């Protein structure tokens, strides 16, 4: 048989918009997820892991920030003709599970979940098509005590992962108040909720962009429309100046205390029953939280939080990191939002026809990790494993035994498994592994029952800066009996960790 | 605007072949993965998490057990025209990473990874289209010391997760020996490896089915072909009886010790240089492992292990659980394989053109969990959270504070957040949550600074079996000052755990 023509080699590339995570990137995320899970579990939340794949039908058209069906998801047609897709968030699968298992799950059902979600969006710097979310939701609890619990738990979770009090703020608002304001402004008709729905959507998106466009930009979007720098025109909601004034008043209703903010909101919603109900809910949330010690330095009523998602129906919340970091261009900017959520009473109804109250929060794990790294709270140089070098290829069994001895003492240890011929390469390898120590044993040392212990951190330091006297007084390599190897290696590692 | 016609409701269903995991199913898997990761890390393996999505080009046509390209994967076309797919194993992404980052990674590169993989296959009982794998591989180590390390680490990992010595066996073989035997049998021509390739593939698949079809079935598949019970005919490899005898002799070459097995294999491969090289490798692996105390009661040279995958080029290994369980029909059967792997020197070459030696193992996490559950080693009834019941809706703040007090003491605790009107529903809820304790506080108790503590486990027990005297002497509900609540609840939980 003639040999096939060599096929073109495949490209070794992560698909566009995706990335790989190595070493500490993986363990740090795992540690953070475990810490958050512990907080969620303590509050009685149970883990749920749904499949990554859902039917497109079950996902629905609820992709955040996108009103078009199936836009933004990775989808394909199954052999049976069904359309399947990767989940784009954790809320849609929860709604499906809550409907599917409604007879078996406890009611209310508190669940947490963590894992990757996928978005078929244009990737950008720091914006990937697969990222982690860590959500907690309560399904079947109509009381805003459930919302208050979620806000308090979010605050606890942020502190547990290493964001100190004062470096974050959970801001809480209520869609009902906003809708009450809309009613007062004449863009919501309680007897016909569909009326003005498009204009309200535009208003919602406009005020969600307050941070980005400022008051003038938001007013333009609420009115005739906005022309951006590039010349693109975004159609506005068509509100008059008077109507826009009412909405802007709501945005700027934040006062020093929850009670004062609520009082101001009560003025703004005037006679709107829905608005008054929303203000009452905010007051109750503030009262329950303050009763548990979550004061306004941690959780704050703030009418400027609206959250873009169309499906929220009551309280909405957002956790923001308040410290400044330097962006790619070296400019100071505030870190911004790392978590958000709210009450969405209609998602389960899609499946069952029956309204089920639900509320929850989603923590953007990768952003939170980035924040902790930016603050230097994680990402210190971890020490690699001890490397046992290979002097005599035929004594591999001895080297494996040395590594096993170190492991039994609780240390990470490995034998060099590349070509041992060039000893320099073995030390270069240990360097790349960020090893604290290399173990060396030639046949001479083996015969005498000793090993050479090479302190790689001290060695590098001496090579870089030591005088001849120091070099002599601080030997970076020394001999020890095999029986003392563990103890000596541990001492070196402990010294490095103490630095 | 007229109301839209109500659309058909979506079905609340997990897609076919997928499933959801609840509560302890999630935490037990997480704990097992963490334990295995600890063993891998101790051996110097570093974590890697690749994206779930790869280009179809990068995945190649290496789907296990399927020779056709792209068969068996979930794939879709990207907007840019590229075909993307969900990974079907962890080895193909590793090969891609090893090629893509070859200048940055240490060489050899030891990595572990854990996560779901997806197979677009017909689902069956206990056979899902998404399942977990937990792999460790060493890339760039030509020596079989790397294979020995993987086998020893696999043995350590199984014991670490709770499979005691004697309940598992890691069986090791070498493809080179098999190829040597094929050479002797006249179905491999060392000067023209492509010759007889199809027949060898058939032989490989045949002997991999030894457990299923027995000797007669395997002989039929190596010869003219096999007619199964349903009347389907599988074409055979076309070997003569004499050729088949040689292959069967290899399958049955296992002796009491690694040395004896190797001696028998040395006879069988006769003058085949490749076969002799393979036997030498097996001898070295056995020697290195025995030197570290991994005797044949843990790791065994066994020529009947072949592993179906086409890409293995040297040592292959498989971990089998040796205890018996009852199958769905109540019949005893041995649990079988939970992990497997081997040396695959050509996978990275696909990308770079340069051969890179690699070896690794994949643990089938879900099967291993099933085994531990079958043996009763995990899956005991976990206690749920303490439930603080709600007697007075307007004192929600007090109930939240009681739950917070319990949490600060390290206990899981939650407030009932459903409609509190029917107190019986609250206790039913606590029952569904498998709560050990319910806390009850009416306005009378609140005024006196006490709570009622209801021991739900004892309560259920008394209700089921107690006499009137016992009922009186063991009150399942009692009053305690708020200051003693934590201590009393802890005592009840500790007593339950001790049972």
pLDDT band at A230 (very low <50, low <70, confident <90, very high): confident
Question: Model confidence over B28-42: pLDDT tens digits?
Answer: 999 999 999 999 999
Who among A46, A50, A288 is closest to B20 (CB)? A50
Task: Find the Cα–Cα–Cα–Cα dihedral A261, A264, A268, A272, rounded to 10°.
Answer: 70
Encode chain B in three state secondary structure.
CCCCCCCCCCCCCCCCCCCCEECHHHHHHHHHHHHHHHHHHHCCCEEEECCCEEEHHHHCCCCCCCCCCCCCCCEEECCCCCEEEECCCCHHHHHHHHHHCCCCCCCCEEEEEEEEEECCCCCECCECCEEEEEEEEEECCCCCHHHHHHHHHHHHHHHHHCCCCCCEEEEEEEHHHHHHHHHHHCCCCCCCCCCCHHHHHHHHHHHHCHHHHHHHHHHHHHCCEEECCCCCEEECCCCCHHHHHHHHHHHCCCCCCHHHHHHHHHHHHCCCHHHHHHHHHHHHHHHHHHHCCCCCCCEEECCCCCCCCCCCCCEEEEEEEEEEEECCCCCEEEEEEEEEEEECCCCCHHHHCCCCCEEEEEEEHHHHHHHHHHCCCCCCCCCCCEEECCCCHHHHHHHHHHHHHHHHCCCCEEECCCCCCCHHHHHHHHHHCCCCEEEECCHHHHHHCEEEEEEHHHHHHHHHHCCHHHHHHCCCEEEEEHHHHHHHHHHHHHHHHHC
Which of A4, A6, A12 is the mutation pick for testing B, counting most B CBs within 10 A? A12
Helices first, then strands: H and E counts in chain A: 18, 19
* Mean pLDDT over each residue of chain B, to the nearest integer: 89
Whether B496 and chain A come into contact, CB under 8 Å, resolves to no
Whether A351 and chain B come into contact, CB under 8 Å, resolves to yes
With contacts defined as CB-CB under 8 Å, which chain B residues touch A415? 145, 149
Question: Model confidence over A446-461: pLDDT tens digits?
Answer: 999 999 999 998 888 7
Nearest to A479 by CA among A459, A453, A458: A453
What local confidence, expressed as pLDDT, does residue B6 receive?
58
Q: Residues A414, A388: contact at Cβ < 8 Å? A: yes
Distance CA A495, CA B484 (A): 45
The alpha carbon of residue B102 is apart from the nearest alpha carbon of chain A, in Å, by: 10
Q: Encoding tokens for residue B249?
A: 């002799």
Please tell me which residue of chain B has the smallest CA distance to A387.
Answer: B44
Question: Model confidence over B390-420: pLDDT tens digits?
Answer: 999 999 999 999 999 999 999 999 999 999 9
Who among B107, B129, B432 is closest to A106 (CB)? B432
What local confidence, expressed as pLDDT, does residue B37 receive?
96
Mean pLDDT of A128-146: 95
CATH superfamily label, B386-498: Anticodon-binding domain (3.40.50.800)
pLDDT of B308 higher than 90? no
Q: Residues A372, A163: contact at Cβ < 8 Å? A: yes
Q: Encoding tokens for residue B410?
A: 């390290």
Whether A189 and chain B come into contact, CB under 8 Å, resolves to no
* Mean pLDDT over each residue of chain A, to the nearest integer: 89
Contact between A84 and B74 using a beta-carbon 8 Å cutoff: yes
With contacts defined as CB-CB under 8 Å, which chain B residues touch A152? 400
Distance CA B387, CA A142 (A): 18
Question: Model confidence over A298-329: pLDDT tens digits?
Answer: 999 998 887 766 688 899 999 999 988 777 77
pLDDT band at B7 (very low <50, low <70, confident <90, very high): low
What local confidence, expressed as pLDDT, does residue A65 receive?
46
CATH 3.20.20.70 fits B24-187+239-374, yes or no: no
What local confidence, expressed as pLDDT, does residue B473 receive?
62
State the complex-level ipTM.
0.89
With contacts defined as CB-CB under 8 Å, which chain A residues touch B23? 46-48
What local confidence, expressed as pLDDT, does residue B67 receive?
44
pLDDT of B149 higher than 50? yes
Mean pLDDT of A411-438: 94
Percent of chain A at pLDDT > 90 equals: 58
Percent of chain B at pLDDT > 70 equals: 94
What local confidence, expressed as pLDDT, does residue A324 receive?
84
pLDDT band at A334 (very low <50, low <70, confident <90, very high): confident
Beta bridge partners of B132: B116
The alpha carbon of residue A413 is apart from the nearest alpha carbon of chain B, in Å, by: 6
Name all contacts of B153-159 with Cβ < 8 Å and 24+ positions apart.
B153/B39, B153/B40, B153/B43, B153/B361, B154/B317, B154/B319, B154/B339, B154/B341, B154/B361, B154/B363, B155/B294, B155/B298, B155/B299, B155/B319, B156/B39, B157/B35, B157/B36, B157/B39, B157/B40, B157/B363, B158/B319, B158/B338, B158/B339, B158/B368
Question: Model confidence over A272-305: pLDDT tens digits?
Answer: 999 999 999 999 999 999 999 999 999 999 988 8
Where do the structural domains in chain A lie, given as residue ranges? 24-187+239-374, 386-498
Mean pLDDT of B64-72: 53
- Higher local confidence (pLDDT), B81 or A255: A255
pLDDT band at A1 (very low <50, low <70, confident <90, very high): very low
Who among B10, B140, B396 is closest to A288 (CB)? B396
pLDDT of B309 higher than 80? no
pLDDT of B5 higher than 60? no
Question: Model confidence over A55-69: pLDDT tens digits?
Answer: 988 987 644 444 444
Question: Model confidence over B362-382: pLDDT tens digits?
Answer: 999 999 999 998 888 887 667
Who among A152, A195, A403 is closest to B1 (CB)? A195
pLDDT band at B232 (very low <50, low <70, confident <90, very high): confident
With contacts defined as CB-CB under 8 Å, which chain B residues touch A287? 397
Contact between A417 and B141 using a beta-carbon 8 Å cutoff: yes
Dihedrals phi, psi of A440, to nearest 5 degrees? -125, 130
With contacts defined as CB-CB under 8 Å, which chain B residues touch A26? 47-49
- Residue ranges of the binding site of B for L-histidine: 89-91, 119, 133, 137, 307, 311-312
Who among B10, B58, B145 is closest to A12 (CB)? B58
pLDDT band at B1 (very low <50, low <70, confident <90, very high): very low
Question: Model confidence over A11-44: pLDDT tens digits?
Answer: 999 999 999 999 999 999 999 999 999 999 999 9
What local confidence, expressed as pLDDT, does residue B68 receive?
44
What local confidence, expressed as pLDDT, does residue A25 receive?
92
pLDDT band at A376 (very low <50, low <70, confident <90, very high): confident
Which of A19, A35, A45, A47 is the mutation pick for testing B, counting most B CBs within 10 A? A47
Whether A141 and chain B come into contact, CB under 8 Å, resolves to yes
Who among B11, B148, B400 is closest to A145 (CB)? B400
- Higher local confidence (pLDDT), A52 or B238: A52
Question: Model confidence over B286-307: pLDDT tens digits?
Answer: 999 999 999 999 999 998 887 7
With contacts defined as CB-CB under 8 Å, which chain A residues touch B84? 15, 74
Q: Encoding tokens for residue A269?
A: 């919603």
């Amino acid at each position: 048989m003639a040999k096939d023509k060599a096929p073109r080699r495949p490209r070794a590339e992560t698909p566009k918009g995706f990335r790989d995570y190595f070493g500490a990137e993986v363990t740090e995320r795992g540690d953070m997820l475990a810490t958050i899970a512990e907080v969620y579990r303590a509050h009685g939340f149970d883990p749920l892991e749904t499949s990554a794949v859902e039917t497109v039908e079950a996902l629905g058209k609820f992709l955040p920030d996108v009103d078009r069906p199936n836009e933004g998801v990775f989808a394909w047609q199954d052999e049976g003709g069904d359309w399947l897709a990767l989940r784009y968030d954790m809320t849609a699968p929860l709604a499906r599970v809550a409907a599917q298992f409604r007879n078996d799950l406890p009611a209310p059902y508190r669940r947490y979940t963590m894992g990757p979600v996928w978005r078929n969006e244009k990737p950008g710097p720091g914006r990937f098509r697969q990222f982690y979310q860590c959500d907690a939701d309560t399904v079947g609890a109509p009381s805003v005590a459930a919302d208050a619990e979620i806000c308090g738990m979010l605050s606890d979770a942020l502190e547990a992962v290493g964001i100190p009090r004062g470096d974050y703020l959970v801001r809480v608002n209520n869609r009902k108040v906003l809708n009450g304001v809309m009613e007062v402004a004449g863009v919501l008709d309680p007897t016909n909720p569909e009326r003005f729905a498009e204009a309200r959507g535009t208003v919602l998106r406009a005020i969600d962009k307050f941070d980005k466009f400022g008051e003038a930009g938001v007013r333009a979007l609420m009115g005739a429309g906005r022309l951006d720098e590039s010349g693109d025109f975004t159609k506005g909601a068509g509100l008059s100046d008077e109507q826009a004034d009412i909405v802007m008043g709501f945005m700027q209703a934040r006062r020093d205390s929850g009670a004062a903010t609520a009082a101001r909101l009560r003025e703004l919603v005037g006679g709107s029953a829905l608005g008054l109900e929303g203000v009452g809910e905010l007051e109750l949330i503030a009262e329950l939280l303050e009763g548990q010690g979550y004061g306004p330095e941690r959780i704050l009523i703030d009418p400027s939080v609206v959250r873009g998602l169309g499906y929220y129906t009551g309280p909405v919340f957002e956790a923001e990191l308040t410290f400044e970091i330097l962006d790619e261009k070296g400019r100071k900017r505030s870190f911004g939002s790392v978590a958000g959520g709210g009450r969405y009473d209609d998602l389960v109804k899609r499946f069952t026809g029956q309204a089920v109250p639900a509320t929850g929060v989603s923590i953007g794990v990768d952003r939170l990790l980035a924040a902790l790294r930016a603050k230097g709270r994680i990402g210190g140089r971890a020490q690699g494993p001890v490397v046992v070098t290979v002097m005599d290829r035929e004594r591999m069994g001895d080297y494996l035994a040395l590594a096993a001895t170190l492991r039994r003492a609780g240390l990470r240890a490995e034998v060099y498994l590349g070509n041992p011929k060039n000893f320099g390469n073995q030390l270069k390898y240990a360097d790349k592994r960020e090893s604290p120590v290399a173990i060396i044993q030639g046949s001479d040392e083996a015969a005498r029952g000793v090993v050479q212990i090479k302190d790689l951190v001290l060695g590098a330091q001496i090579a870089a800066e030591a005088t001849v006297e120091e070099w002599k007084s601080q030997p970076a390599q020394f001999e020890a009996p095999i029986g003392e190897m563990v103890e000596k290696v541990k001492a070196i590692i402990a010294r490095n960790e103490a630095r």
